[in-house]
Structure 1
Amino acid sequence: MFKKFVTTLGCSAALLFAADFQVGAYYPNWLQYSQFTPEDVRYDFLTDIHYGYFVPSEDGSSIANADENDNANFDALASLAKQKKVNLQVVVGGSGNEEAMKAVAMSEEARSAFAEAIKSFVDGNGVSSIEIDWMPAEEEEFAAHGALVSAVADAGVNVSVSVIGSVDAAKSYSSEALGKAANVMVMLTDQMSAEESTVKPNSDFAFAQEVLKAYADAGVSSAKLVPVVPLYGKTFLNAKGLGSSHEGTGSGNEGYLTYKELMTVFDTPDYQVTFDEATQSEVAVSSSETIVFNGIPSMKSLATFVKDNDFGGIALYDIAGDHKEPIVSLLVTVGQVLRPAIKYNAKKK
């Protein structure tokens, strides 16, 4: 079984946080505005925390937090993760930072400077890994993406890569470059939007299995492949279920409801919640809207698939969306399959 070897360079010593499967969660810097703090993280249930987002300078010579107001939380998260022996991966790029990442990736000089800046950042902050999050679109961008990943890996940095959750995209990435990555984070979020004419799952786990197999078939070690799945659902006005038409977004924050919010919504008898076998996902239908989301059955299904096929684990996006009660928590659902030795009912100290 693949082991994740992590070097914590900030303390000038090699530390090994090993896990057969990753059970990870994303911690975006905007959580500061939702009153979720590093102290709220259930570290004992995690192997990895993915903190986002940092962004490079135009010439690649430095990186900085995209929201410097969150620097104190980042420092606290780094300290607690180290204390709890949880790998901290810092995500560079992400939504809204595509042009900055592209500019660096497309320039050989900037790639070299970026690799040096990343190495310096890791050495100075004691993080476990850097995750490159930039989704290329054109053929030349995929080539530049591979060169960027290789530059960072060749600088001696433990690097992970976010990739597009698509069968076609799996054929476009450089398998050589992805082979240098510690983890390949396969993004399987936001498959449904208001632009779609009919309702489909927001994260179709039957399709997820096809995507993971496509990356493995393209030459990426299955043990490096980690699906990233949402801890939120999407709502659609006046839809009557999967395959039906809709009239735009429904309830929630611009049509989004976190998983923990959904558990409150479903306390009422207004929604009929079912598990769709064909897509391995959940759907909830009321008189006014349809909600597509992932719950305990779908998460258990995907985790079992990951375990049975020796994929790398599962990461959840984002950590604040989970329910705190272990019997309802999706983090616990995944963990019970991938890390059954953990005591998930133990009270947090």
Structure 2
Amino acid sequence: ERFSKIASSERGRRAFAESVVAFLDLHGFDGIDIDWKYPTQRDGSPNDKKNFALLLKDLRKALDHKDHILTASVSALKETIDAAYDVKEISRHVDFMSIMGYDLFGPWNDHTGHPAPLRARTGGSFYESTLNVETSIESWISKGADVGKLVLGMPLYGRTYTLEDPNEHGFNAPTLGAGEPGPFTGEPGLLGYNEICTLMSTGGWKVTRDPNVNAPVAIKGNLWIGFDDAESLANKVQLALQKGLAGAMVWSIETDDFRGKCGRGKNPLQEAIRKALRLNSSEPETTSEPTMTTSEPTMTTSQRPTRSPSTNTPGRFTCVSKGRFLNPDTDTGYILCVRKGSDFQLFKMPCPLGTVFRRGTRRCDHAYKNVL
């Protein structure tokens, strides 16, 4: 409702954009992610669809003066995509759109379902057949999204249910509600991967993996957990890259096994995603894995930015201020300079397929446009 009011007038949009720029400058952030759940819904207005695009347009205009990054986290539900987004228009104004490919099922339903199925499960209802990652990606592309700006969001957590009957534990099994909260996340019906892998180390679990859902389900007694592991996330990355997406985003980094207590090393899920992206990238592997982050998700592009030394070496670009700059080696990418303490880090960033970097606007734009 608050987003709806802000976006409903030119004055509100401009005031919001100005406050965003001031906030980013004050705290030294590189950009902002807009996570409006969702235009036209939750006491919103039918005009939200148009106004969301206008809000992003005004933000883009304000942020370009500062070379800040603008991203949007968007719904994975086909019906919400249709109702909430002017897809082509919002594609023009953002650097990336992160499809939130999770929470497609959860304990708000009265039956079991995986929160992030890769594809539709055989035998499910017609409505259920639309609730999967592949359909979400295809819905965005069919609506005219710039595929080179699409990023697939993936969960580092699972959704839990309390089964009505422990002997009936397949998909679509009746439930009594959410599972008990975990010690860290503290939310009924949700467990971080770090909580799940610790819980499963106790033994006695039955783990299944539907070939289409392509992600694990763990069952013990009346507790049913649908979650993602290293294998399922790597398969999601592969699908995203096959569809031409820019890369991956995760929600959220603190629910990975960041201490490595489950015997798979630190941050095993994020490492699986990075490995899958590297295997499908022509870029050489680097010793440091830079990620583009917002205040919420962590984003990693498939054509990963390559960190280069920012020294006064002949033929090398030197960062003297933050922002986006023309890459002297290619017009299909740009140099991103990010402040780190009193110095700068330099990243070589790719432009989306079919676009080139424009010196005048400091943005990637379609190659056929007669703009410098």
Asked if structure 2 preserves the Cα contact closer than 8 Å seen for 1:231 and 1:319, the reply is yes
For residues 271 and 342 of structure 1, do their structure 2 counterparts lie closer, same or farther at Cα, with a shift above 3 Å needed?
Answer: farther
- Provide the residue aligned with 2:171 in structure 1: 242
Question: What RMSD over aligned residues (CA atoms) do the two structures have, in Å?
Answer: 2.1
Instruction: Say which is worse superposed, 299-308 or 163-172, in terms of deviation.
Output: 163-172
Q: Does 1:176 align with 2:83?
A: no
Out of 94, 104, 108, the residue aligned to residue 10 of structure 2 is 108
- Provide the residue aligned with 2:202 in structure 1: 268
Deviations 1:310-340 (A, max 9, x none): 2121111111100133557110010001135
| 1:342, distance to aligned residue in structure 2 (A) | 4.9
Out of 172, 193, 198, the residue aligned to residue 111 of structure 2 is 198
Which of 1 and 2 has greater Rg?
Answer: 2
Q: Does 1:291 align with 2:225?
A: yes
Provide the rounded CA distance (Å) in 1 between the counterparts of 2:99 and 2:152: 5
Asked if structure 2 preserves the Cα contact closer than 8 Å seen for 1:241 and 1:284, the reply is no
For residues 342 and 305 of structure 1, do their structure 2 counterparts lie closer, same or farther at Cα, with a shift above 3 Å needed?
Answer: farther
- Provide the residue aligned with 1:148 in structure 2: 55
- Provide the residue aligned with 1:232 in structure 2: 157
Instruction: Supply the AA of the counterpart residue of 1:220.
Output: A
| 1:118, distance to aligned residue in structure 2 (A) | 1.9
Asked if structure 2 preserves the Cα contact closer than 8 Å seen for 1:225 and 1:311, the reply is yes
Q: Secondary structure at the match of 1:339?
A: helix
Asked if structure 2 preserves the Cα contact closer than 8 Å seen for 1:122 and 1:128, the reply is yes
Instruction: Supply the AA of the counterpart residue of 1:127.
Output: F
For residues 295 and 344 of structure 1, do their structure 2 counterparts lie closer, same or farther at Cα, with a shift above 3 Å needed?
Answer: farther
Which structure's residues are more often helix, by fraction? 1
Instruction: Say which is worse superposed, 139-148 or 319-328, in terms of deviation.
Output: 319-328
| 1:299, distance to aligned residue in structure 2 (A) | 0.4
- Provide the residue aligned with 1:258 in structure 2: 192
Deviations 1:131-159 (A, max 9, x none): 11112125311111111111101222531
Contiguous gaps of at least 5 residues in structure 1? 1-98
Provide the rounded CA distance (Å) in 1 between the counterparts of 2:232 and 2:288: 19
1:20-99 matches, cutoff 5 A: 99=1
Out of 222, 246, 251, the residue aligned to residue 312 of structure 1 is 246
For residues 310 and 262 of structure 1, do their structure 2 counterparts lie closer, same or farther at Cα, with a shift above 3 Å needed?
Answer: same
Asked if structure 2 preserves the Cα contact closer than 8 Å seen for 1:258 and 1:321, the reply is yes
Asked if structure 2 preserves the Cα contact closer than 8 Å seen for 1:233 and 1:256, the reply is yes
Contiguous gaps of at least 5 residues in structure 2? 120-131, 280-284, 290-372
Provide the rounded CA distance (Å) in 1 between the counterparts of 2:158 and 2:201: 16
Instruction: Supply the AA of the counterpart residue of 1:308.
Output: Q
Deviations 1:157-208 (A, max 9, x none): 5311111111233334122122210010111222223331211111122211
Q: Secondary structure at the match of 1:195?
A: coil
| 1:343, distance to aligned residue in structure 2 (A) | 5.8
Provide the rounded CA distance (Å) in 2 between the counterparts of 1:161 and 1:262: 29
Out of 115, 127, 137, the residue aligned to residue 212 of structure 1 is 137
Instruction: Supply the AA of the counterpart residue of 2:101.
Output: L
For residues 202 and 342 of structure 1, do their structure 2 counterparts lie closer, same or farther at Cα, with a shift above 3 Å needed?
Answer: farther
Q: Secondary structure at the match of 1:298?
A: helix
| 1:282, distance to aligned residue in structure 2 (A) | 1.5
Instruction: Supply the AA of the counterpart residue of 1:171.
Output: D
